[in-house]
Amino acid sequence: MAVDLSPIDENLLAEIANIHGMPNGAFNIRKDGELVERHSSANIEIATKTDHPGIDIRIAPHTKGETVFIPVIVTQAGLKDVVYNTFYIGEGCDITIIAGCGIHNESHEASEHDGIHTFYCGKDSHVKYVEKHYGEGAGTGERILNPVTNVVMEEGASCEMEMVQLRGVSSTVRDTNAELAAGARLVLTEKLLTHDEQTATSNMKVELNGEDSSVQVISRSVAQDDSVQVFNPLVIGNAACRGHVQCDAIIMGNARVTAIPGIEAASEDAVLVHEAAIGKIAGDQIVKLETLGLTEEEAEQEILEDFLN
């Protein structure tokens, strides 16, 4: 082990990846720009990149039922950590990838992690990807996370991506780009919570290039206090395809939410739909829960958790 883990580190790993101790199977744990520990499996090879900081993850064709953990934690004030991770997922795989970043900052200096992830999903493969972001610490320094996710899907591939931002992230700009071949299916689910004066921008561009390709984009967010959110997805249909974009947001206090869902069709057989809804918590929901014995604050929290989940 290159770096020892403190109780703070262990708490961050539990928050973002539900890791308690070292996981089984293939994993790569990174802290403050350094390797903590790495392990490959018989079907999954994790190797250090030679041209950029980061790793290459190669998953053998027809690998099924395995999980890869690649969490990152940052506890060093003033650090800007940039990492490039590339996944080569073989034909016919069925695997789960657990990522995410947790930042603990007790200083006045900013701490930042920018993860650039690229996925090459082989023919008829299935990937479930979960990425959680979380920030904590009493310091005034910003906790910044700017992820980039690129997805290239071959024929018949399917991918479910769940991007979750928990509490404590000062600012984030998320860029997600995807290209789908014939019969490929992508589900992008984004769950976002901002509070205080935090800002969050999500940009998406999904190109449906193959016949019978499809994408479903679901954004569910809560903006509290004076925070600001911008949701900017674009789905482009270049063939006979299906696309659906849905944005639902709850706004509280003096927060601001902007949703700009976009669709472009370059084929008469493309079927694309978008919808957006922004509103406050309904008063009758609060009253109903209060009759069950909850305080107003507890009722609000219950509603928010149910909405995001």
HEC per residue, 226-240: CCEEEEEEEEEECCC
Confidence (pLDDT) at 164:
95
User: Does 308 map to a domain?
Assistant: no
**Could you tell me if residue 73 is inside a domain?**
yes
Token reading at 183? 């019969």
**Would you say 67 and 37 are in contact if contact means Cβ atoms under 8 Å apart?**
no
Residues of the chain scoring pLDDT < 50: 1
Q: Is residue 289 part of a domain?
A: no
Q: Which amino acid is at 273?
A: V
244 is in which domain, residue-wise?
Answer: 7-280
Residue 298 lies in a domain: no
100 inside domain = yes
- Asked if 219 and 251 count as a contact pair (C-beta separation under 8 A), the reply is no
Q: Tell me whether residue 103 is in a domain.
A: yes
pLDDT at 304: 86
Q: What's the rounded Cα separation, in Å, for the pair 92 and 89?
A: 9
Other Cβ atoms within 10 Å of 38 Cβ, number: 17
Please state, in angstroms and rounded to a whole number, the distance separating the CA atoms of residues 168 and 161: 22
299 is a domain residue? no
pLDDT digits (tens, 9 = 90+) for 99-139: 999 999 999 999 999 999 999 999 999 999 999 999 999 88
Number of H helices, E strands in the chain: 3, 22
pTM above 0.85, yes or no: yes
Rg of the Cα atoms in the chain: 20
Contact call for residues 242 and 181 (beta carbons, < 8 A): no
Please report where in the chains the tokens 């900017």 appear, as a residue: 232
- The answer as to whether 306 is a domain residue is no
Number of folded domains in the chain? 1
Residue 182 DSSP code:
T
